[in-house]
């Protein structure tokens, strides 16, 4: 059976993606780091609508934990495989570069960029052997254009874009597509400290996006209809 794994599926964009992929018929593995209560809410939302979901706790920034949890799941589920991987887990720790602490640089690179690498490598072998897969990496407009106060986050997201393009070349002949989705400002916990009234004046659509709107795009890229799209970065930013 084909499963979907969504990192950071407990809240925000990741939760909306879990719900969308479950609606498309995939049993969903909801990864989270600390917030089990929120992950349980995602699971309940899926199950209430007749879908299937399981929680999978690991810190994507921790290589051995990520590999241990995923290899245990793979070993315990020999008839199933992770066909859809959404690398969504992410954090931001903004500051002007002049003031940026080493730990804020390192944590953002570890979670966003290294987490994408560790998680993808752990499931890639099985996608290659099944000759099918969809990998969707959640990046950001900040990784394309840059953003004041985000050298760490922009560098991490730009790094994931490079990973996306190179991996797409490596896997296309095995029917594995690898794409990136680059949201602008989306209403989630990550952006709740931002001043929407000020920022929405900079967005052509004059509003923040919704997590469900991002999930629709991810759902399309995960679908069979998107089989000829690979190595691309699709922005969802209200024109920003
Ligand atoms: P959010 O509401 O803050 O949720 C972050 C999610 O990531 C949570 O589920 C969290 O799990 C998980 N997470 C964080 N660190 C993790 C780790 N080390 N291991 C496993 N899971 C971890 O963020 P969001 O706004 O939905 O963002 C989702 C993705 O979209 C991120 O990659 C973000 O960079 C990107 N993005 C967001 C926006 C935006 O405007 N919101 C714009 C562009 C890109 P816990 O609940 O356990 O903490």
How large is the average pLDDT for residues 158-187? 98
In whole numbers, what is the pLDDT of the chain averaged over residues?
97
Q: pLDDT-derived band of residue 134, with 50, 70 and 90 as boundaries?
A: very high
For residues 105-109, give the mean pLDDT.
98
- Residue matched to tokens 């794994």: 5
Residues 6+ positions from 145 with CB-CB distance below 8 Å = none
Over range 117-127, report the average pLDDT. 97
Task: State residue 70's pLDDT score.
Answer: 98
State in Å: Cα 237 to ligand 1 middle.
17
Burial class of residue 165 (count of CB atoms within 10 Å of its CB; 0-12, 13-18, 19+): middle
Q: What is the mean pLDDT of residues 144-162?
A: 98
Cα 13 off chain centre by: 8
The predicted pLDDT at position 157 comes to 98
Catalytic site includes residue 228: no
Q: What residue spans define the domains of the chain?
A: 2-236
Question: Residue 11: CB within 6 Å of ligand 1?
Answer: yes
Closest ligand 1 atom number to CA of residue 89: 7
Average pLDDT score over residue span 17-41:
98
Q: Which of 90, 104, 143 to mutate for ligand 1's pocket (most ligand atoms within 8 Å of CB)?
A: 90
Mean pLDDT (whole number) for 134-163: 98
> Judging by beta carbons within 10 Å of its beta carbon (0-12, 13-18, 19+), is residue 13 exposed, middle or buried?
buried
Tell me what pLDDT residue 118 has.
98
pLDDT tens track for 26-36: 999 999 999 99
pTM over 0.95: yes
E strand map for the chain: 2-6, 28-32, 53-57, 81-87, 133-138, 176-183, 233-236
Domain 2-236 sits in which CATH superfamily?
A: NAD(P)-binding Rossmann-like Domain (3.40.50.720)
7 vs 70: CA distance, rounded Å: 12
Q: Ligand 1: does its nearest atom lie under 6 Å from the Cβ of 61?
A: yes
């Amino acid at each position: 059976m084909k499963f979907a794994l969504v990192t950071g599926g407990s809240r925000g964009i990741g939760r909306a993606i879990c719900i969308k992929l479950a609606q498309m018929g995939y049993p969903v593995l909801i990864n989270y780091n600390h917030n089990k209560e929120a992950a349980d809410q995602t699971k309940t939302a899926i199950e209430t609508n007749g879908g299937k979901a399981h929680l999978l706790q690991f810190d994507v920034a921790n290589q051995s934990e990520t590999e241990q949890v995923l290899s245990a799941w793979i070993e315990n589920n020999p008839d199933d495989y992770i066909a859809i991987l959404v690398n969504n887990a992410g954090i931001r720790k903004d500051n002007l570069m002049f003031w940026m602490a080493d730990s804020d640089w390192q944590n953002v690179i570890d979670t966003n960029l290294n987490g994408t690498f560790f998680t993808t490598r752990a499931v890639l072998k099985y996608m290659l052997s099944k000759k099918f897969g969809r990998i969707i990496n959640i990046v950001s407009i900040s990784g394309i254009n840059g953003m004041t106060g985000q050298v760490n986050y922009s560098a991490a997201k730009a790094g994931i874009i490079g990973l996306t393009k190179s991996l797409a070349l490596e896997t296309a002949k095995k029917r594995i597509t690898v794409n990136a989705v680059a949201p602008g400002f989306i209403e989630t916990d990550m952006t709740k400290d931002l001043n929407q009234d000020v920022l929405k004046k900079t967005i052509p659509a004059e509003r923040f996006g919704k997590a469900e709107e991002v999930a629709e795009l991810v759902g399309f890229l995960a679908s069979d209809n998107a089989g000829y799209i690979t190595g691309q970065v699709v922005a969802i930013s209200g024109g920003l």
